[in-house]
Amino acid sequence: MANLKEIRNRIASVSSTMQITSAMKMVSAAKLKKAQDAITAMRPYSDKLTELLQSLSASLEGDAGSVYAQNREVNKVLVVAITSNRGLCGAFNTNIIKQSMLLANQTYAGKQVEFMAIGKKANDILKKKYTVIENHSSVYEDLTFDAISAIAEELMALFTNGTYDKIEIVYNKFKNAATQIVMTEQFLPIVPMEGEANNNTDYVYEPSKLEIVEQLIPKSLKTQLYKGIRDSFASEHGARMTAMHKATDNATELRNQLKLTYNKARQAAITNEILEIVGGAEALNN
C-alpha cells in the first residue's frame, strides 16, 4: 500500500504541474495576440522606411554620405543580443545566445567583441565569458517607441564617436506561434542597397537628398531597433505558448500512465487480499 500512496502523490504532483502549464499557455496566448498585432502593423512601415533609407544612402557619393554609413576598418564590434527576462519558452533564448557567441568566436574572431544585452537571460549568460557593457532588461516593463529610441540614440553615439566600428543586432523574428527565425542584422554602418535596386525607385527630393537622409537616418534606426524588440517580444510569447502546450500534453500523458499503473497496482493488491482471505478460509475448514 505504500507503493500506491507514492503513485497517488506523483499523480497529484503531475496534475498540479499540468494546471500550471495550462494556465501559462492561456496567458501567453492572450499576450501573443496583442504582440502579434503590434508587429504585424508596423512591419510594412519599417520595411519601406528602411528601403527608402538604403536607396538614398547608396545614391550619395563619397564624402557626401552620412556619418552613419561610414565603413571603417573593423576592430571593435558591439553585438546587441535581444532575449527575454524569463525562461520557460523552449529554445527561444538559447538560440539567440548561441548566435551571439558564434559572432564573437567565428564571424569576428580576432576582433574585440562586446555585448549589449536587452533581456535578463542574455545578460546572465554572456557576462560569464564576455564583456557586457549594459543590460536593458527593464525595457520590457515599458515597451514604447520612446523607451527604445533612447537605446538607439546611445548606439548611434557609440558608433559616431568611434567607440565601435560595427554594431549588429541579434533577435528572434516572429513568423508564427510555433516558428521563430534567428536574425542577425547590421545596425551600423547602414548597408546601402546593391545593384539595380536603386534604379527601381524615382523620388522627388525636397529640400535636398542629403538633408533628408540626415533627418531620416536616426528615425529609421530607431524604428529598426524597435521592430527587432517588438519581433522578439511577440516571438517570446509564441515560443512560451508552444512550450507550455507541449508541457501540458506531456503532463497529461504522464498522468494517464500513472493512473494506469495505479489501477494495476490497486487491482493486484485487491487480488492478493482476496487470495489471502480464501486461503485463510480453507485453512479454517481443514
- DSSP letter at 143 equals -
Write the pLDDT tens digit of every residue in 4-54. 888 899 999 999 999 999 999 999 999 999 999 999 899 899 888 887 777
**Distance, CA of 101 to CA of 115 (rounded, Å):** 10
Which pLDDT does position 139 carry in this prediction? Answer: 92
- Report the mean per-residue pLDDT for the chain: 87
Write the pLDDT tens digit of every residue in 266-280. 888 888 888 888 888
**Distance, CA of 74 to CA of 52 (rounded, Å):** 26
Cβ neighbourhood burial of 190 (10 Å; 0-12, 13-18, 19+): buried
**Among 24, 86, 32, 7, residue whose Cα is nearest residue 248:** 24
Write the pLDDT tens digit of every residue in 121-163. 999 999 999 999 999 999 998 889 999 999 999 999 999 999 9
**Which cell goes with 188?**
551600423
Above 80 in pLDDT, residue 88?
Answer: yes
3-state class (DSSP) for residue 202 = coil
pTM for the full predicted model: 0.83
3-state class (DSSP) for residue 195 = helix
In sequence order, what are the beta bridge partners of 179? 176
